Amino acid sequence: MLQDGAGAAPQSGDDMDRIRIVGGRELHGEIPISGAKNAALPLMIASLLTDQPLTLDNVPRLADVAQLQRILGNHGVDVMVNGKRPEDRDYQGQTLTLSAARIVDTTAPYELVSRMRASFWVIGPLVARMGHARVSMPGGCAIGTRPVDLLLLVLERLGAAIDIDGGYVVARTESGLRGGTIAFPKVTVGGTHTALMAASLARGASVIENAAREPEVVDLADCLNKMGAKISGAGTSRIVVEGVPRLGGARHRVLPDRIETGTYAMAVAMTGGDVLLEGGRPELLQGALDVLTQAGARISSTNQGIRVARNGAGLDPVEVTTRPFPGFPTDLQAQLMALMCCARGTSHITETIFENRFMHVQELVRLGARIHLDGDTASIEGVERLTGAPVMATDLRASVSLVIAALAAEGETMVNRVYHLDRGFERLENKLGRCGAEVQRISG
Ligand code: EPZ
């Protein structure tokens, strides 16, 4: 089964790396929050829209980012990575300058797209700028079927002709894209990214109805506007894009990762302790922070970020349903489930975004959790204690949920297939280790 990212078929010894965690330590200290993976990826892809350089600051050092650099390189994008300067802090993100002066290839091959689903999004900029793109269908992935029909709807509404040929989507336009109305039947982040990028270079105005309101959509729109696009309404469900003939270069800072922030907030709620999530912005994950408060964590916002604390008191169970932003994010569902494994009572978590995002359940059960699945709803009956065991998971958020459970479990947990974590969490073991967790990476 294909994965959701660069972890599909690791080629180095990284696939043998494991993380060993001995549970039972509280977390105290500071955790710096990295730039958001899910903002960095579409921002990097936006570089295809212009022949001028796009400079991105605060890009996280992640396997998915490295993989996308290779994919963009295949289209002719030159990527310059700024080295670390002596004055840089330990956890400073990297600066990438992406120059697509000349697109040398409008085909995105199966071998690359199947390793990272988000790379399908190159189709929008390629067809908008070059009038042609041939992009492999990404196929299924570990969290569900994940079709691309809504991304193709975008291109059709903007006047592209679409064919499917040998597993590839071929999108073509004779005289360039033209503005149109795109009414999504369902909220889609990738569809909204595609619409923003393609409509920016279309002739005339486009309206995107039922647009995704995720902060990463707003970040992309902000960057595109710096490049000369005319986008208004990003962050609401109706976005208007006035097409422009060309876009130019820009410099943009990637926003902080709300999923990484929420993940560490849950880790602290799980172990107890007091941690400052440096650079975290509460407005990016208020829905999730509210759930944590309800469960018994103390959350406050400071000039430096978000402070999360929990003293000896137990956790209360919660009822949560995943929803598009500003609702509770699907990308934090697995982590919340791990947390609720130790609550004083039964929680219910319903997943409405992806149909198959419960692979973590059986692994949590190996640690002693009591979880019952019924369709799209999991009932989690809190237990007195979890106990360490060897575990592994098949996607990024599921893997980190096992880390959260392991931090509170009695004894040793070995999390296998660490390459999933490396796709989306920068130096996880260092960030947790310096707050007192007993966690180490064991090289394979
Ligand atoms: C983005 O995926 C994120 N990926 C996902 O994060 C995240 O879980 C998801 O948005 C939802 O928030 C990146 O940003 C790289 P969607 P995306 O289109 O854009 C259906 C992680 O762990 N759909 O908003 O692919 C789809 O199947 C990842 O970091 C169609 O039916 O998600 C799903 O049910 C995992 N047809 C729903 O829409 C389409 O053409 C929302 O998906 C497209 C989507």
Ligand 1 centroid from CA 59, angstroms: 21
Contact 306, 289 (CB under 8 A): yes
Length of the chain: 444
What average pLDDT score do residues 404-419 get?
Answer: 95
What average pLDDT score do residues 328-350 get?
Answer: 98
Please give the helix or strand (H or E) that residue 70 lies within, else none: helix 63-75
Ligand 1: which of 3, 64, 188 to mutate, most ligand atoms within 8 Å of CB? 188
The residue to which tokens 């992406």 are assigned: 98
List of E strands, 25-131? 27-32, 54-59, 78-81, 94-99, 107-108
What average pLDDT score do residues 170-179 get?
Answer: 97
More confident residue, 332 or 420: 332
pTM: 0.96
Q: Model confidence at 88, in pLDDT bands (50, 70, 90)?
A: low
CB-side exposure of 328: number of CA atoms within 13 Å?
21
Cβ neighbours of residue 323 under 8 Å, at least 6 residues apart? Answer: 287, 352, 353
Name the residue with the closest Cα to ligand 1, atom 19.
190
Cβ neighbours of residue 162 under 8 Å, at least 6 residues apart? Answer: 152, 155, 156, 169, 170, 171
Ligand 1 centroid from CA 132, angstroms: 24
Atom of ligand 1 nearest to the CA of 143: 35
Name the residue with the closest Cα to ligand 1, atom 4.
38
Atom of ligand 1 nearest to the CA of 259: 29
Cβ neighbours of residue 222 under 8 Å, at least 6 residues apart? Answer: 234, 252
Contact 220, 195 (CB under 8 A): no
Helical H segments across 117-171, by residue range: 123-130, 149-157
In whole angstroms, give the CA distance from residue 109 to residue 129. Answer: 19
Q: What's the pLDDT tens digit per position in 395-407?
A: 899 999 999 999 9
Q: Model confidence at 288, in pLDDT bands (50, 70, 90)?
A: very high
Backbone angles phi, psi at 347, to 5 degrees: -105, 160
In whole angstroms, give the CA distance from residue 275 to residue 266. Answer: 11
In whole angstroms, give the CA distance from residue 53 to residue 249. Answer: 5
